[in-house]
Chain A
Amino acid sequence: MSPSGYLPAGLLLASMLAAPGLAAANRSDPWADARNLNFTAAGAGIAPLHQAAPDDARLAVAYAAALLARQPRTEANIIEARALLERTAQFTPTAPSPADTDQRILAAYLVARIDHDHFENPRLDIARSGYEALRVAHPGHPLADQAALQLGYMLAYQTAGLSPADTIAPVEALLASVHSENARRELHLLLARIQVRTLHNDAAALAHFQAARAIGCQATNRDNELDLTIGMLAARLGQGDLAARHYLAFAKANPQEVRTQTVRRLAAEALAASGSSTK
């Protein structure tokens, strides 16, 4: 090979060494299959493991999760998954480890989720009982907090005869009882949405949006969207400094976005309205 041929060969070799994950991604692993949304392959991979160790809560939950999502989706699979999860949640091993307990809490949570959302005719009362039981049995557990969030959704959108104004107090009570960031943020956003869209209480909504923003989001761009929402609400309420702060936070995080120039203009207008000026 001529000396000039070493550079490209070296580049290619370096890239091959730097990319071992690409080849590894092709290996069969039920959890990797699930991550790639191939639940049929995931289920096929887990089934023999679950059959070999039917009392293993982790394998039972994973197998049930594959049953729930694999195609074709059938009522029989959902019933089988629910039964398996219920058995797993109720099984008491002689010497449970913390990890094993977590898996059984997850099983109980998924039973309620199935009743809530997976059957063609949702079993809301049974789901509600499941969520409440989980909160009583495992207060402070992240999945118990997640159950609280689901109860919040049920109160706001799936409880007949409850007016939007009547949902505020019980959802606020749920919010006061949870600790996980995800549940707190989402309950704040639920309350904000009810306040702004249904009760037209911008001030109350703003406080909840700010609380959610302070917790922060993982989803791409969601924090930026919240900055815009807070900016617009604050401007509507005459809080120019607050509006400008959030508008400018959006502009800083998104210098190359179609809304950025408009947002900068709105920030300047908000500051002008509040008597400040853009530094």
Chain B
Amino acid sequence: MKRAPLSSIVPYLVLGLVFAWSCWHVASIRRVAVDTDKVTLRIGHWMLHAGMRESFDLAITDYQKLHPDVSIEQIPVPIRSYAMWLRTRLVGETAPDITGLSAVGEEIAGRYYLPLDAYASQPNPYNAGTPLEGVPWRDTFVDGLESVRNLLGPVSGELYGVNLQINTLRLYFNRNLLRAVTGSDAPPVTFAELRALGDQIAAYNARTGTKLVPIASCGPYSRYLFNTLVPSQTQRFAVESSPSLNLSVSPQDMATAFLRGEWTYATPAFRSGLELMREVTSLMPPGFSQLERDDALFAYLQQQAVMFYAGSWDYGVLVRDGPFPTGVTSLPLPDRDDPKYGRFVLGPISEVAGSPEAILGITRTSRHPEVALDFLRFLSCRSVATTFSRESHRISSVVGTPPPPDAPGLAPVLNGEVNGFGIDFTYLAGGNTNRAFQNNLHRALGPKGDLDDFIKAVESTMPENLRRDLAQAALGQQREIRRLDSQLAFALTRSDPKPGEWSRLAEAQSIRQQERLPLVQEFFP
């Protein structure tokens, strides 16, 4: 009998070893889960940016020192797959005890997260010995947690999470490159100076043979930039023409005014906003709209760009990976004295609330909700917030917490006029009008850009797109109106009715009816 050659056994051997290793791996995970007597908390989030995981680790270590019987594990998930991961875990009842709340609406928040209102009015015990001692937990946050409440519980009024941080958008600049180009590392302060810096960089490139780009950008970050710049042109318009008489213009207000023909892109403030967009794109690399965040970040870190307009969440990676000092400043906007754009401007813009970031909530399936609540309180106490802010290079949402020592410029500007609004319909339901805007933007931008061509192209499909988007908005409102009938019925059939609950729900329903019915009457009779 012939013996099998050794080479034919190798694949089976490898397979066997892999199988044995897999068995050992699975068994070891189970052993850890079963053997421990500790309370194990898991916290799932998408905040993989530089400094965040390390800051969570520091806070976890400190908490575990205080509570040796508690073990906390981080589950960082890439942001691209986070929404799907979270939804799957929530539905499968395998979600971590605490999760980041991203792309979550009221329905999901209400169903899967514990309301925190009752605890928000109690002091945070970890603030003992600080100026926040005895202050209700809610009031230890800069905006009293109102932005989270409005985001996750606009109808119910419930609080389903707390935000550890707030975001701002900033213009980062490479101090070395700026000094090489201008002889100083002082950033531009006015929009006119920003334009002039673009010319200086072009002259520097011609002189030295370099190919420096003034502002590194990409598709999503250019939209942040446009939506910071353009509102400077609609600022006065928003105050004077607010259809709802509240100094702002909702996406629905704007869509209906366009559909009626009351506003068009030829409206002076809007056209001026488009011209501003065109002008600023001359400072960006060609084809920026096709690029992603990592491309723009790479260009800045590789010193191919002098500036980078990005979020406060990006500062950590610039500090960690940039082989040069990075400065932080607000994007210079046209001021009232600007000869071209000043007539639409009211003044510097308030960023008082920032936008909530790192919103964390406790899942209903948590086996240790009390410990999860305690850890949330710990994370949001003054001392931990200060360390967290310093290590993550981000802005804390806790009252009185200093900004990162190396970047005070990240903190929101507290004084200023109300902002205007964007004109690309980003926030209109459905997204058809915004898509048409973005798809045609190339007509307006760049050296050969033609605003009239852009306006003609966008407005030719606008009525149809706006109608589709408004129909989508009306559908969402109708869904909510119907659901509120059921909520109202449940409120009135409780054996222990809560005072004021049904009238609060009836009011919420009226708000939606007052939004939907005029829309349907005018555009979808």
Contact = CB atoms under 8 A, between A and B. Distances in A.
Interface of A: 5, 8-9, 11-12, 14-16, 18-19, 21-23, 25-26, 31, 34-39, 42, 58-59, 61-62, 64-66, 68-69, 102-103, 106, 110, 113-114, 117-118, 146, 149, 153, 156-158, 180-182, 185-186, 189-190, 193, 196-197, 217-222, 225, 228-229, 232-233, 256-263, 265
Interface string B482-506: 1101110110111100001001101
**Dominant secondary structure at the B interface:** helix
B23 interface: no
A220 B489 contact: no
Given A15-B125, A34-B490, A69 B482 contact: yes
Contacts of B68: 5
A153 B374 contact: no
Question: 4 closest Cβ contacts across the A-B interface?
Answer: A65-B489, A8-B66, A69-B486, A22-B369
Interface in B475-525: 478, 481-483, 485-487, 489-490, 492-495, 500, 503-504, 506-508, 510-511, 513-514, 517-518, 520-521
Interface residues of B, number: 79
Contacts of B239: 262
B28 interface: no
A15 B486 contact: no
B507 A113 contact: no
A225 B142 contact: no
B65 to A, nearest CB: 8
Given A110-B485, A218-B507, 18 more contacts: A11-B125, A18-B119, A23-B370, A26-B364, A31-B495, A35-B490, A37-B487, A68-B482, A157-B518, A185-B507, A219-B157, A219-B511, A220-B157, A222-B507, A228-B247, A229-B245, A233-B245, A256-B143
B492 A106 contact: yes
Interface stretch (B187-195, B205-213, B345-353, B451-459): B345-353
A263 B419 CA distance: 12
B364 to A, nearest CB: 6
A19 B375 CA distance: 13
Interface stretch (B10-18, B318-326, B410-418, B441-449): B410-418
Given A58-B493, A68-B486, A182-B506, A25 B352 contact: no
A106 B114 contact: no
B373 interface: yes
A22 B114 contact: yes
A240 B520 CA distance: 36
A37 B106 contact: yes
Contacts of B521: 157-158
Contacts of B349: 258
Given A11-B374, A19-B369, A219 B110 contact: no
A136 to B, nearest CB: 21
A263 B350 CA distance: 12
Given A258-B352, A259-B418, A37 B67 contact: no
A75 to B, nearest CB: 13
Given A18-B122, A34-B486, A68-B485, A158 B517 contact: yes
Contacts, number: 200
Contact of A65 (B70, B248, B490): B490
Interface string B141-160: 01100100110001011000
Given A15-B373, A68-B486, A146-B506, A261 B142 contact: no
A31 B494 CA distance: 7
A265 B347 CA distance: 12
Interface string B201-244: 00000000000000000000000000000000000000100111
Contacts of A103: 492-493
Interface in B364-412: 364-365, 369-371, 373-374, 377
9 contacts: A23-B369, A31-B495, A37-B111, A62-B490, A103-B493, A117-B485, A157-B518, A217-B507, A263-B247
A61 to B, nearest CB: 5
B201 to A, nearest CB: 33
B517 A64 contact: no
Contacts of B503: 180-182, 218
B90 to A, nearest CB: 12
Contact of A232 (B242, B377, B481, B490): B242
B184 interface: no
B510 A149 contact: yes
Contacts of B122: 18
Contact of B67 (A12, A21, A35, A233): A12
Contacts of B243: 197
B115 interface: yes
Contacts of B504: 218-219
A26 to B, nearest CB: 6
A189 B119 CA distance: 34
B199 interface: no
B518 A193 contact: yes
A19 B373 contact: yes
Nearest to B510: A186
Contact of A256 (B110, B115, B352, B362): B352
Contacts of B88: none
Contacts of A35: 110, 156, 487, 490
Given A15-B125, A31-B490, A26 B482 contact: no
A228 B248 CA distance: 11
Contact of B247 (A8, A37, A262): A262
A9 B70 CA distance: 11
Nearest to A233: B245
B118 A189 contact: no
A39 B489 CA distance: 12
A42 B482 CA distance: 16
Contacts of A117: 478, 481-482, 485
Contacts of A217: 507
Interface in B139-183: 142-143, 146, 149-150, 154, 156-157
Interface in B94-120: 106-107, 110-111, 114-115, 118-119
A258 B245 contact: no
Contact of A257 (B352, B511, B520): B352
A159 B248 CA distance: 31
A189 B245 CA distance: 13
B481 A228 contact: no
Contacts of A265: 417
B484 to A, nearest CB: 9
A145 to B, nearest CB: 10
Contacts of B352: 256-258, 260
A64 B489 contact: yes
Contacts of A68: 482, 485-486, 489
Contact of A218 (B142, B362, B481, B500): B500
A202 to B, nearest CB: 10
A181 B377 CA distance: 38
B418 A262 contact: yes
Contacts of A233: 245
B302 interface: no
A180 B500 CA distance: 12
A170 B494 CA distance: 35
Identify which of B125, B349, B362, B418 gathers the most chain A CB atoms within 10 Å of its CB. B418
